[in-house]
Amino acid sequence: MPQVNVTIAGKAYRMACGEGEEPHLEALARLYDGKIDEMRQAFGEIGDMRLHVMAALMVADEVSELRQRVAAMERQLAAVQGDAGAADHRLSEVEDRAAEALMAAAERIEGVARSLVPAPVG
């Protein structure tokens, strides 16, 4: 199992991960380390544990907000797909009615055409 060395808040950590996940784990560590730096700049030195907790809560808040946005988008997509399905159904009904009207018109035209052709003598 691959291992990755990451640095968070100035401390090095060796972490195991799945094959091929090394760049992702390193990026996550950089993201979290950046959040800790943001907290340190905003609040100064308030203790490592508090900085870690605040940074973790910020990340959790972002994840929560993104989950809500994804859920809202999924609901919107489902509504659009439902609307599209209903529109397809209505279009199919209109096409069926148009085809029936066209067939009826064609039959009437053929009837008129037959009535205009003189009957054969004999």
Query: If the chain, 122 residues long, is cut into consecutive pieces of 10 residues, what is the mean pLDDT of each piece?
Result: 93 94 95 93 87 92 95 92 83 88 87 76 65
By the 10 Å C-beta count (0-12 exposed, 13-18 middle, 19+ buried), 52 is classed as middle
33 within 8 A of 9, measured Cβ to Cβ = yes
Residues 6+ apart with CB under 8 A from 75: none
Instruction: Give the pLDDT of residue 122.
Output: 61
pTM assigned to the model: 0.60
Q: Please report, as a single letter, which amino acid is at residue 119.
A: A
Rounded CA-CA distance 3/19 in Å is: 9
